[in-house]
Amino acid sequence: MGGFREKLMRFMYGRYGTDHLYYFMFAIWLILAVVGLIVRHPVFYIIGIVVMVLMIMRSMSKNIAQRRKENQFFLKFFNPVKREVLLLKDRIRDIRTARYRRCRHCKALIKLPKVTGKHTVRCPKCGEKFDVHIIF
């Protein structure tokens, strides 16, 4: 078994491998495969194969600079979306105990205790005071 591992390592030497875009494409492929099994339409099968071929071509590529550039371009758009999804998850988790508000001056996100009414809050980042109104 050690011989196979060594051959695989030699084969992959100088190739790009996996990155965030690869894992995202893998998730898309997995979703397409599951939906294709449920719907049984050839479009999902064809798109899934195209995504899989692109995944494999990117991971086996020796043009490392171009693959890095593609991954950086992907991350430029994916990271803000990921940040908003994680914030939404936190908001849902804390819905009984806290509210989130943005500072009007520096746009920092502030977690406030859930106390209904009008309050004056000091931003921990910029120190400015502003009024917030928590309805429920």
Tell me the pLDDT tens digit for each residue of 82-95.
Answer: 999 999 999 999 99
Where in the chain are the domains?
Answer: 2-93, 98-136
- Residue 135: per-residue pLDDT: 84
pLDDT of residue 1: 60
pTM over 0.85: no
- pLDDT tens for each residue of 8-27: 888 889 999 999 999 999 99
Distance CA 46, CA 60 (A): 21
Reported as a single tens digit per residue, the pLDDT across 59-108 is 999 999 999 999 999 999 999 999 999 999 999 999 999 999 999 899 89
